[in-house]
Structure 1
Amino acid sequence: MSSLFSDDEPAAFAPPPGPGPDAPLAERRRPHRLADYAGQPHLLGPQGVLTRYLAAGRLPSLLLWGPPGVGKTTLALLLASELKQPFAALSAINAGVKDVREVIERARRQRGTVLFIDEIHRFSKAQQDALLGAVENGTITLIGATTENPSFEVIPALLSRCQVYVLEPLGPDTLRGIVAKALAEDPTLSQIKVKLKEDHALLALSGGDARKLLNLLEIVVQSTPPDKKGVVTVTDAVVQQVAQRPLARYDKGGEMHYDVISAFIKSIRGSDPNAALYYLAVMLEGGEDVKFIARRMLILASEDIGNANPNALLLATSCFQACTVIGLPESDLILSQTVIYLATSEKSNAAYTAIRAAQAEVRARGVHPVPVPLRNAPTRLLKQLGYGKEYEYSHNGAGNFAAQEFLPDALSGTAFYDPGQNAAEQRIREKLRGWWGEKYGY
């Protein structure tokens, strides 16, 4: 996708030319109005966040994160169309820093330009750095589309300047609506009498991907001979025969991707190594990215095991590093070892509940003043005001501990961390009780 700018100045948004009759059905059915966009009601419904932005006549820079075929590119085009702003588009596959800088330079002559970057996770750090200034000062409104987690694939500086919105796999009802409208409205398919007798295989093999769904529908309809009455009957058996794929096959880009990783994590959390290994095998056989699997285990090691077994995080980190270096097929052994270790480890979600409780306190009551003894005193004035004066250096106390108040006065005695019911954290509880007595209720 190249820039849609003219050679001279950014122009007001103009949609790309429509596809010809020989284009795939998915291209022919790409909506040209936001009202025709299917799915994502959490973003585009009456109370959706993007709906509210459009009503206000503006958009922030944003990243659209979701699996293939859920409408990321289409949504970006439609948002720019709704706002009638100058528009440019680049693909991270073939655009370089030079292309980015050219777009930004042209955009400076007409502020408010929307720049859409497809597959932004493929941009290098240097390419992403080139966007920072223009995004921050409003020269461009960036819309990036990605199938990868932006937390890992987009540099922090750019991520902090963008809102991230998750596009979900399309549900069965939405997919059925897309099929019905295609059969009724597409100039080619509407000329064919189609009886949709069964749609389970059609929906299952699409995996929540509208592009895959429509292209499969077109192939099935065009390759299935009509009966004596001229009717093409679509059944699950017909779809499977045309697709040459069994329904149970794992689709790493579709809905099953999310279902299987969910079952995988819950099996490890539930201390069932056999179930966890089964779901690991499903993902590996389906071609899942080993780094994605290893990242999820890294999160689990803190969320579900934590200080019940601190070595879990170390092993999960080593697993991620090893998988990154080695890749498939040998990484399956490393993943298997780590899965078994995590599944059979003692469990505790105390670290997870502790930080969530602390965050809830900050969000509910704001930030309280730091106690004066704990404050930094880099200047003479601050020293005169008593900053840091009564602080007791812990290492000067017996056992490297000196009892004093660390929390803000309004939170004195508040315990966010509740050690789990396991041997390791019970030892932690005993240490805390020895240091703090009854202050925190340990």
Structure 2
Amino acid sequence: MTAVPLAERLRPRTIDEVIGQRHLLGPGKPLRVAFEAGKPHSMIFWGPPGVGKTTLARLMADAFDSHFIAISAVLGGVKEIREAVAAAAQQRAAGRRTILFVDEVHRFNKAQQDAFLPHVESGLFTFIGATTENPSFEVNGALLSRARVYVLQPLSTEELAELFARAVAALDPPVAFDEVARERLSGWADGDGRRLLNAVEIVADAARGLGRDQVDGDFLEQALSQNLRRFDKGGDAFYDQISALHKSVRGSDPDASLYWLCRMLDGGADPRYLARRIIRMANEDIGLADPRALTLALEAAEVYERLGSPEGELALAQAVVYLACAAKSNAVYTAYKRARAFVAEHGSAPVPMHLRNAPTKLMKGLGHGQGYRYAHDEEGGYAAGERYFPDDVEAPTFYQPVDRGLEIKIREKLAWLRARDAGKDSGPG
């Protein structure tokens, strides 16, 4: 049995082993191109905890044969910055590049962030910052202008399942997890891969200590009693309560929604987690039936960040009540899933010539943009009959607005536009 933590044993050694972030690491994507080109550049990774920010920085140092220096803005200060600069200077004197990784860079003040600037400009090191906060607000403009920002996403349910399978396979001695335990751990991790790995290790160690080689849902809760806490004396776990909150909002019951929100807050649930779920509810269950819902959810999350507890919790309560009372529609959510499935099935059809950009004479000569109808010059601001799908793709209908809220008007507008396409209506929309 190894003493090396599971998360460290499973740390990817190449970018092909990284789970998640396909929008950055897939073929032809920005970070994949940077790795393959062998030309490091200063960058900032912005994303939630446990999604691979540190791992990507380490992989870059390996890929570019660079000396890797890591400092934490939580624990470090000017002294650590000076030491890093001196170490990078020694490496350069020896003919080797340095990558300086600054975790939680937003916790450095403006003067501390400014200390990096001359060394970034001189090329003494390649700067990689990691932050969970919006760099536009938390990283000073001078440093931000010298680094490219990459947004990292929480791990999806499928990606967490892949990581979970990899973790269980690495357990020695082995411990099996049933489907209930797997699903609960995935929900508890909430997109955080490191949190998932740490939980798997804690539970596996607890099981071995009791002579067990299998973990079910009940044992999982016992083993993680300090973290996977129950939020009331009756014993409902947090993932059941967040489901109840979501379904109460979806069911347009503001009182029940407030009840479940307060139950979770009272039991110690992270308000930031609740804020993220509230934003998801606005997208998934309200959508364009009331676009103000998403704005209010985002503003509630921001208010909580500014005020903290308990004052900021009132903003979350306001958002929950508004979402519960708002008109409901999952039309956009459903349309998005249909569109994703359609794209996956039909592959990469070429962009029609009339829709292509034509910034040069050569492109214009090749027919780019030829025949395009500028909608603003058309009657009613709409080019009736114009086609925007690829030529060899039969135009599907993904979005089907419901007869509730603003989508009533959207549905009427789309019906009028389709009638114009068919030549049946030329009146104003």
* TM band (smaller chain): 0.5 to 0.7
**Are 2:14 and 1:29 equivalent residues in the alignment?**
no
Cα distance, 1:132–1:179 mapped onto 2, change above 3 Å = same
**Alpha-carbon shift at residue 34 of structure 1 (Å):** 3.3
1:171 counterpart residue number = 156
Mapping 1:32-71, distance limit 5 Å: 32-71=13-52
- Quick check: 1:226–1:232 contact (8 Å CA) kept in 2? no
Instruction: State the 1:193 CA deviation.
Output: 4.3
Higher mean C-alpha deviation, range 32-41 or range 240-249: 240-249
Deviations, residues 165-184 of structure 1 (Å, cap 9, x unaligned): 22222233333333333343
Matching residue of 1:372: none
Q: Does 1:140 align with 2:125?
A: yes
Aligned counterparts, 1:125-274, within 5 A: 125-185=110-170, 189-190=171-172, 192-198=173-179, 199-224=182-207, 232-244=213-225, 245=228
Partners of 2:200 and 2:215 lie apart in 1 by: 9
Aligned structure 1 segments of 4 or more residues deviating by more than 6 angstroms: 271-276, 303-306, 316-323, 338-345, 363-366
1:251-272 deviation digits (Å, cap 9, x = unpaired): 9xxxx99x999x89xx89xx99
Identical columns (%):
41
Distance 1:317 1:118, change over 3 A: closer
Pair 25,225 (structure 1): closer, same or farther in 2 beyond 3 Å: closer
Match of 2:332 in 1: none
1:282 shift after superposition? 7.6
Other-structure match for 2:67 = 86
Indicate whether 1:122 and 2:138 are aligned.
no
Q: Distance in 2 between matches of 1:159 and 1:108?
A: 23
- Whether the 8 Å contact between 1:67 and 1:169 is mirrored in structure 2 is yes
Q: CA offsets per residue over residues 137-158 of structure 1, 9 Å max, x none?
A: 4322111112222222212222
Secondary structure, counterpart of 2:115 in structure 1: helix
> 1:52 Cα deviation (Å)?
0.7
| Separation of aligned partners in 2, 1:168 and 1:305 | 26
Larger Rg belongs to: 1
Shift of 1:47: 2.7
Tell me the secondary structure at the aligned position of residue 214 of structure 2.
strand
- For residues 317 and 205 of structure 1, do their structure 2 counterparts lie closer, same or farther at Cα, with a shift above 3 Å needed? closer
Q: Is the 8 A contact 2:303 2:315 kept in 1?
A: no
1:108–1:282 CA distance, 2 compared to 1 (3 A): farther
- Paired with 1:231 and 1:240, the residues of 2 have a C-alpha distance of 15
- Does 1:77 pair with 2:58? yes
TM-score by length of 1: 0.56
1:319 deviation in Å?
11
- For the 8 Å contact 2:46–2:149, the answer to whether it is kept is yes
Alpha-carbon distance between aligned partners in 2 of 1:275 and 1:141, rounded to the nearest angstrom? 52
Partners of 1:342 and 1:177 lie apart in 2 by 33
Take 1:167 and 1:224, find their aligned partners in 2: how far apart are those partners?
Answer: 34
1:53 Cα deviation after fit: 0.8
Distance in 1 between residues matched to 2:317 and 2:216, nearest whole Å: 39
CA contact (8 A) 1:195 1:231 kept: no
- CA displacement 1:281-336 (0-9 Å, x = unmatched): 5885623259x88xx8xxx9xx9999x9xxx99xx9999789846x4223434665
Structure 1: how far apart are the matches of 2:87 and 2:200?
42
| Runs of 5+ consecutive residues of structure 2 not aligned to the other structure | 231-235, 327-355, 360-375, 382-405, 407-427
TM-score in terms of structure 2 length: 0.57
**Which one is further off, 332-341 or 120-129?**
332-341
Equivalent-residue separation in structure 1 for 2:154 and 2:311 (angstroms)? 31
Match of 1:99 in 2: 80
Aligned to 1:427: none
Residue 319 of structure 1 contacts residue 338 of structure 1 at CA under 8 Å; is this kept in 2?
no
The change in CA–CA distance for 1:153 and 1:202 in structure 2 (over 3 A counts) is same
Paired with 2:85 and 2:317, the residues of 1 have a C-alpha distance of: 47
Query: Which position in structure 1 is the counterpart of 2:269?
Result: 286
Following superposition, the deviation at residue 205 of structure 1 comes to 2.1
Q: Contact 1:44–1:51 (CA<8 Å) still a contact in 2? A: yes
Give the conservation status (yes or no) of the 8 Å contact 1:63–1:145.
yes
CA distance 1:279–1:133, change in 2 (3 Å): farther
Look up the equivalent residue of 1:286 and give its one-letter code. A
Cα deviation code 1:197-236 (max 9, x no counterpart)? 3221222222222222222222222322699xx8712222
Give the residue type in structure 1 aligned to 2:150: Y
- Partners in 2 of 1:246 and 1:92 — Cα distance? 30
- What's the RMSD between the two structures over aligned residues? 5.1
1:28 deviates by 3.0
Q: CA deviation at 1:51?
A: 1.0
Structure 1 unaligned residues grouped into runs of 5+: 1-19, 346-362, 367-410, 422-440
Take 2:17 and 2:305, find their aligned partners in 1: how far apart are those partners? 43
